[in-house]
Amino acid sequence: MRRYENRSTIMTSNRPLEEWGKLLGDVPTAGAILDRFLHHAQTIAITGRGYRFKDHAAIAGKEDKNKRTKPKSNEPSTAEPAS
């Protein structure tokens, strides 16, 4: 059984379609590949920050704070033992 027009395929990319020629190093080949991918396709352009970055600022802030409070290797630790 052929997959064409029988099954769905999801393809994602973080590159715009215009950059595929440069990315593959061959503009005609990239055009042919995109023609086949985009035939009968529904494209969804998602803009903005990615979902995986939703907590990035909070996590980065905690990491920066931890880096500043860690003692240097030649200083004794002042952290209290966990109970």
Lowest mean pLDDT among 8-12, 28-32, 70-74: 70-74
Average pLDDT, the chain: 77
DSSP characters over 11-76: ---SS-GGGHHHHHT-HHHHHHHHHHHHTT-------SS-GGGTTHHHHHHHHHHHHHHSPPTTSP
41-74 tens-digit pLDDT: 888 888 887 777 777 777 776 665 555 555 555 5
**pLDDT at 45 (0 to 100):** 85
- Determine if the pTM surpasses 0.75: no
Binned at pLDDT 50, 70 and 90, residue 27 comes out as very high
